[in-house]
Structure 1
Amino acid sequence: MTQSDELFERSKKRIPGGVNSPVRAYQAVGRNPVFIKKAKGSHIFDEDGNEYIDYVCSWGPGILGHADEEVINEVQKACQDGLTFGAPTRKECAIAELIAQMMPSMEMTRMVSSGTEAVMSAIRVARGFTGKDYIIKFRGCYHGHSDGLLVKAGSGVLMQAVPDSAGVPSGYTQYTLIAEYNNCDSVAKLFEEYKGKIAAIVVEPVAANMGVVQPKEGFLEYLRKITKENDALLIFDEVITGFRLAPGGAQQFFGVTPDLTTLGKIIGGGMPVGAYGGRKEIMECVAPLGNVYQAGTLSGNPIAMTAGLVTLKRLFEHPEIYTQIEQTTKTLADAYRNAFKDQVCVNQIGSLMSVFFTKEKVVDFASGQTSDRKKYADYFCFFLERGIHLAPSQFEAMFVSVAHHKEDVEKTIQVIDQYAASQKR
């Protein structure tokens, strides 16, 4: 039994499923998880001493790579001054100013401790500002585990949501409406049926929680148009895309400006953090200025702010990073396409990528579901055994960092070719 197996057995006795977030259990790929001991750059090391090229990057935050020297040094120095004060600090102000510079739509920002908290709070603000109750989300888009957003669609796109988790009363989701990603008609029908009642649309501008699915041309522009026409707000959930697709996130990349934005992952440079913000007139609804309440003991803590500031400054001052990581990701995407021909669908945008084991073009939740999950599990295990760590789920993204170097890419392409060849036997 490996060290990872032993730790997993121990953990299962005291932690539900042995993990602190479900996908880490590796159930979708039919094996026990590896327990990670340390990481550096583009590589992670497990408790048994195995080394892997890492394309999970802690699910996105590691855009600079693991244990970046500057980030670690600044965090260590900040720790000497104390971990948390429960009081305002200079760094909170500095990061809010930098966010506004990089993402101008965020005129005002409130720091929180997770992406879930950011989206939950932004929706509360949207409802408070508009005085309306209903929101629209898209099937297959994930916005955290708050009760009102843990929902799935029924048999038709116009059905109201039903809870997607035990413990969520139906009343918590009755004001959440489900539309189809990349389907403008499904959105229009909801606005027609619930005319004057919809507070906001919340959307991942690039869906990255059903695998990577890009918006069709004109889709985000349509969401901007219909929300304006109906006095509703447009919320971009940029927890994944924020500062990853461009210094200004997906809204800069696509040229579409939302009313509110939610952030996480990269904004904390590896520390637990989230944020939401937008137009000043909207954000002034938040307490203590307004009557929309939200608070948090560790919100804006100086350690997370330090890691976030170092990371965002690097990205802001070196936009060439985005060219580099996009090219690396394109090289990998082309290698998959060349090796598998038309047997897989490879979706790639910027430094985000997904490989679907289907011949169909994946453009929404339904087409994503055509992927062969057993084939994905086989593919995952093949790569892991050869020192490459991928997302242990078909419906998660592959992340590339600036730390992934030429040798990493060359080894990955060799394994891609090996796996493709093994499937032809």
Structure 2
Amino acid sequence: MKTNISDALYQQALTLMPGGVNSPVRACRNVGKTPLFIERAYGDKLVDADGNEYIDYVCSWGPNIFGHCRKEITESVIRAVQNGLTFGACHKGEIELAELIKKNVPSIELIRLVNSGTEAVMSAIRAARGYTGRDKIIKFEGCYHGHSDGLLAKAGSGVLTNSLPDSEGVPKGCTDNTLSATYNDENSVKELFERMGEEIACVVIEPCAANMGVVPPKEGFLKFLRQITSEYGALLLFDEVITGFRLSAGGAQQYYGVKPDLTALGKIIGGGMPLAAYGGKREIMECIAPLGNVYQAGTLSGNPVAVAAGIAMLRLIEATPDLYSELDRKSALLEKSLFQKGIYVNRVGSVLTPFFTDGTVTDFKTAKSADVKQYAKYYSHLIENGILVAPSQFEAMFVSYAHSDEDIYNTIKIIENFLE
């Protein structure tokens, strides 16, 4: 496999961007590779600048649940572009998208569209603080909620990949009100509430963690969080930027049967375009300007092109009754193959991570026990055989509706060749 053009482009990019990339994990430094520069995509395939084709299990980190260039979505975007790229004003598409989200996620009574998952979670936490009049929040070690200052404390994803416990440039004062608990550990949460319960505005959690690799909640853990937050007058915020419309049409909250007070959404709701949202109970969301004193704004929020893509995506989900059963079936084939070869796999629906560990991963500590050097070898073997997975042990594989059984079985064969 030749990568001469990608290599040359990366050298050029290094002179223009920090690390040659616009998001750290893309640099592929932890797997010892040069980033691929992608030219085009279709179905479940990516094609790089050198003409190499890959079966894609990154799926743009989750949004492409139907694969790349799904006709209904691309045509909707083209029509929207012809009417204008941005208005900076209200348009009826915002109403239609909000109605589609609200229809599928009943815990959301009012919603605000924003541009990124980071912005959605940051704004939802501000709303929680404004509503409760409290400052402190609880997050979980290894859960990543975007790169806003107050949430870069024991975060996962790129921070974990690059072995940075926090980020420089974040003043200590920004994380003074961020309390860290252990994912799947009820006692760690109880202790924080017993000490500071009257000061805690909300608990923010990935209801199924996917940024220290996929780590599902143990049975009853989310219901425990629902109970203890209600008991202390705090709010429960689900960061469903990854899980929203991925685990089910109603996200993780429908999948696990737990209703949060606030929800952050992203990725899939934009249909592949930059778009996110946060929403929840009416009385909480009415604290947000212009109705209340919690300020949040965005010039490009509700961008008509992104909204058009999101509408097409959610309509397509509604029109595909076998979507989630097919995603589950295909993903289970990969999971079973890895398990049979002695690899520990965490999977929830179409999101999974093979861990090179000595046991099951249940939290941040066990995730960090993974053999990242072995994962780098695994990544290299797959990429050299036309399979694209995340260049980090601490990310997820995403299966799309576009993945054919033939491509799934080819992937299994290549993975088995490596493991043998």
TM-score normalized by the length of structure 2: 0.96
Query: For each residue in 1:20-57, what CA deviation from the matched residue of structure 2 results, as whole angstroms up to 9, or x when unmatched?
Result: 00000001101111111100010000000000000000
Structure 2 CA distance for aligned equivalents of residues 71 and 305 of structure 1:
11
Q: Is the 8 A contact 2:338 2:344 kept in 1?
A: no
Query: For each residue in 1:257-297, what CA deviation from the matched residue of structure 2 results, as whole angstroms up to 9, or x when unmatched?
Result: 00000000001000001100001111000100010000001
Gapped regions of structure 2 (runs ≥ 5)? 156-163
Structure 1 CA distance for aligned equivalents of residues 87 and 372 of structure 2:
46
The answer for the alignment partner of 2:276 in structure 1 is 274
Per-residue deviation, 1:249:
0.2
The answer for the alignment partner of 2:338 in structure 1 is 336
Deviation >3 Å, runs of 4+ = none
Secondary structure of 1:88 counterpart = coil
The answer for the alignment partner of 1:12 in structure 2 is 14
* 2:403 is equivalent to residue 404 of structure 1: yes
Per-residue deviation, 1:337:
1.1
Q: Of the candidates 99, 119, 128, which is equivalent to residue 101 of structure 2?
A: 99
CA RMSD of aligned residues (A): 1.1
Q: Of the candidates 191, 212, 216, which is equivalent to residue 214 of structure 1?
A: 216
The answer for the alignment partner of 1:138 in structure 2 is 140
The answer for the alignment partner of 2:85 in structure 1 is 83
Q: Of the candidates 225, 228, 233, which is equivalent to residue 226 of structure 1?
A: 228
- Count of residues in correspondence between the two structures: 410
Structure 2 CA distance for aligned equivalents of residues 71 and 275 of structure 1:
19
**1:140-179 matches, cutoff 5 A:** 140-152=142-154, 164-179=166-181
The answer for the alignment partner of 2:286 in structure 1 is 284
Q: What letter is aligned with 2:393?
A: Q
Q: What letter is aligned with 1:93?
A: I
Q: What letter is aligned with 2:21?
A: V
Q: Of the candidates 200, 203, 209, which is equivalent to residue 202 of structure 2?
A: 200
Q: Is the 8 A contact 1:247 1:319 kept in 2?
A: no
Q: What letter is aligned with 2:378?
A: Y
The answer for the alignment partner of 2:344 in structure 1 is 345
Q: Is the 8 A contact 1:108 1:279 kept in 2?
A: yes
Q: Is the 8 A contact 1:163 1:173 kept in 2?
A: no
* 2:70 is equivalent to residue 68 of structure 1: yes
Secondary structure of 1:194 counterpart = helix
Secondary structure of 2:138 counterpart = strand
Per-residue deviation, 1:195:
2.7
The answer for the alignment partner of 2:38 in structure 1 is 36
Structure 2 CA distance for aligned equivalents of residues 79 and 232 of structure 1:
43
Q: What letter is aligned with 2:67?
A: G
Query: For each residue in 1:163-218, what CA deviation from the matched residue of structure 2 results, as whole angstroms up to 9, or x when unmatched?
Result: 81111000001000000000000000000111300000000000000000000000
Structure 1 CA distance for aligned equivalents of residues 95 and 255 of structure 2:
26
The answer for the alignment partner of 1:120 in structure 2 is 122
Structure 2 CA distance for aligned equivalents of residues 268 and 34 of structure 1:
24
Q: What letter is aligned with 1:166?
A: E
Q: Is the 8 A contact 1:102 1:316 kept in 2?
A: no
Secondary structure of 1:14 counterpart = coil
Point out the more displaced range, 114-123 or 411-420: 411-420
Per-residue deviation, 1:358:
1.1
Query: For each residue in 1:334-358, what CA deviation from the matched residue of structure 2 results, as whole angstroms up to 9, or x when unmatched?
Result: 01111x22xx211111000000011
Point out the more displaced range, 313-322 or 225-234: 313-322
The answer for the alignment partner of 1:156 in structure 2 is none
The answer for the alignment partner of 2:248 in structure 1 is 246
Per-residue deviation, 1:416:
1.5
Query: For each residue in 1:317-339, what CA deviation from the matched residue of structure 2 results, as whole angstroms up to 9, or x when unmatched?
Result: 3231000011100011001111x
The answer for the alignment partner of 1:364 in structure 2 is 363
Per-residue deviation, 1:370:
1.1
Structure 1 CA distance for aligned equivalents of residues 181 and 222 of structure 2:
14
The answer for the alignment partner of 1:180 in structure 2 is 182
The answer for the alignment partner of 2:301 in structure 1 is 299
